[in-house]
A and B are shown apart, each in its own frame.
Chain A
Amino acid sequence: MLSLIERWLKSAALEAQEYVRLTRDALRAIVTRPYYKHDIVEQFDAIGWGSLTVVLLSGLFTGAALALQSGQTLDQFGARPVVGRLVSASMIKELGPVLTALMLTGRIGSGIAAELGSMMVTDQINALRALGTDPIRKLVVPRMLAGFLMAPVLTVISDFVGILGGWVVARFTLQVNSGLYWSSVTKGLYMEDAWMGLIKPFVFGFIIVTVACHVGLRTTGGTAGVGKSTTLSVVAGSVAVIAADFFVTQILMAVLY
């Protein structure tokens, strides 16, 4: 039993060490040449543009469901007209960043782990190294930049369509006047909320991509190993996003408010 725990602790420490090493090497590679510009553009397209539909749909329906639920609760206090305030605050501070991050974990986290994992088990990563290419510069850096910079953009879009979805429900189901809804949306927003909603996705984007790259590049065991890595990337990425959300929220609350 003790040796089992010891083995688990050792492997957890090794994973943590390798994750930190990968992140450190990637950050170093970002500020030094050479750059693979074509790959960077390709990843911005795949991670940013490619995730737009998923983010639009999830944001829209989240905002709509939030308006429905909070409308019912607010009715108990006769406060239905402030539904916009609740939707905007929830979407911008919490739901927009977290749900977008979770959707990205499912979409790009799994894709990255599967792609890099397949490259590992078929020796393509070794082939890259043998041909004189640093896989971190070629594969990790473009994905890291794209994840770090596109997650906030996608979150802002998700926030907006979420508030839009809330408006559709508020206007047509809850019968709240449009002007009232939009003024309530802006009234309920403070600059600190906007900062919180904007800073969080940078952290989430970074976590999702680095976890996926780490898991992908540690893949062993053929196609079954690729399957395991893909699952692990989504599970570890999602848990890491939710845990990071708690800690980042605490830090930002202490700093901003």
Chain B
Amino acid sequence: MSVDTEPNVKQILSEIGAPVIVFDHVQLAFDDKVVLRDVSFTLLKGHTKIILGASGSGKSTALKIITGLLQADAGVVWVNGQRVDELTEKQMMAVRTDLGMIFQEGALFDSLTVRENVGYKLYEETDMPIADVDRRVEEVLGFVGLGEHINKMPSELSGGQRRRVAIARAMAFKPSILLYDEATTGLDPITATTVDDEIIKLRDIERVSSIVVTHQLRDAFYVATHMAVRGPDGKVVVKPASAEKEREAEFIMLRDGLIIFEGDADALRASTDPYILQFLS
């Protein structure tokens, strides 16, 4: 089934609460090392899925399977109504037009300026006029608060600024799904909060569905328990989320390639599982 040939699918998927990513009994092993044993979850439109777990638990691997950077050994993966586990690299390019990924450490292209990095996809892979691309780049850099760094090279930026440029690059082509792979790892708490704020703003202001992979609890709970609203003056403010909004962020805890917990922030806090308690402590 293709989204292009099924207009109804497109319409259904654009509604809040529609399943935009479905992971169904996915398994992956590298030689003898099993990374994902049997993982199933669903990301709903406009919601956030926070995947927690220790290093090597298979969190980043799950994201790479969604974007088609890795192929699962077994199981089915649906992205925006398309079954991606059986697509070729060429066919996957079409699916990626609606998927943005923020890599660990940013993965910015060191030989390109911030402007070229952020506008990369629009400059290289679309026919959008240069002036329009420039305008969009300036707009997204303004959104992440880095407008004045547009002509710098990535090496001239701090760690937090690099992550925010990576977010700007992923959102520049307006994807409806963003995947964050350890976007705040290695950052100090204050800088990490600025990155978390961007994740929240994108979810609540731009209505982007997101999967946040992290092992940093502080950031995971911050994203789950805060929301962004636009004030009467047009300014976006991040504030504690309402109880209903909080429930839209779901946690998944991975251990040895299996999901050992799935639920909202309150359920996670109330868990009595010894491993989860140790993780939370």
Contact = CB atoms under 8 A, between A and B. Distances in A.
Interface string A15-35: 000000000000000000000
A123 B103 contact: yes
Interface string B58-96: 000000100111000000000000000000011001001
A127 B103 contact: yes
A129 interface: yes
A224 interface: no
Given A123-B104, A123-B107, A130 B69 contact: yes
B99 A130 contact: yes
Interface in B14-69: 64, 67-69
| Interface secondary structure of B, over-half rule | mixed
B124 A36 contact: yes
B125 to A, nearest CB: 5
Contacts of B125: 131-133
Contacts of B90: 134
Given A130-B99, A132-B121, A124 B67 contact: no
Nearest to A39: B124
A124 B124 contact: no
A128 B104 CA distance: 14
A122 interface: yes
B109 A126 contact: no
Nearest to B97: A132
Contacts of B109: 124, 127-128
The bracket for how many chain A residues form the interface is: 10 to 19
A39 to B, nearest CB: 10
Contacts, number: 53
Nearest to B64: A126
B93 A132 contact: yes
A239 B75 CA distance: 44
Nearest to A126: B69
B180 interface: no
A117 to B, nearest CB: 13
B101 interface: yes
B107 A127 contact: yes
B105 interface: yes
B124 A133 contact: yes
B103 A131 contact: no
Contacts of B251: none
A122 B120 contact: no
Interface string A115-156: 000100011101111111110001000000000000000000
Contacts of B97: 132
A182 to B, nearest CB: 46
A131 B121 contact: yes
Given A36-B124, A126-B64, A126-B69, A134 B89 contact: yes
Contacts of B99: 130
Interface string A94-124: 0000000000000000000000001000111
Interface in A151-173: none
Contacts of B89: 129, 134
Contacts of A132: 93, 96-97, 121, 125
B105 A122 contact: yes
Nearest to A118: B110
Contacts of A127: 101, 103, 107-109
A129 B90 CA distance: 10
A130 B101 CA distance: 7
A170 B109 CA distance: 52
Contacts of B121: 131-133
B172 to A, nearest CB: 9
Given A122-B105, A123-B103, A124-B107, A129 B124 contact: no
A127 B68 CA distance: 12
A254 to B, nearest CB: 40
A250 B93 CA distance: 45
Nearest to B70: A126
Contacts of A126: 64, 69, 103, 107
B107 A131 contact: no
Nearest to B99: A130
A130 B67 contact: yes
A122 B110 CA distance: 10
A129 to B, nearest CB: 6
Nearest to B94: A132
Contacts of A133: 120-121, 124-125
Nearest to A25: B89
Contacts of B101: 127, 130
Given A130-B96, A131-B169, 11 more contacts: A123-B105, A124-B109, A126-B69, A126-B103, A127-B103, A127-B108, A128-B109, A130-B67, A130-B100, A133-B120, A134-B90
9 contacts: A126-B107, A127-B101, A127-B107, A130-B96, A132-B93, A132-B97, A132-B125, A133-B120, A134-B90
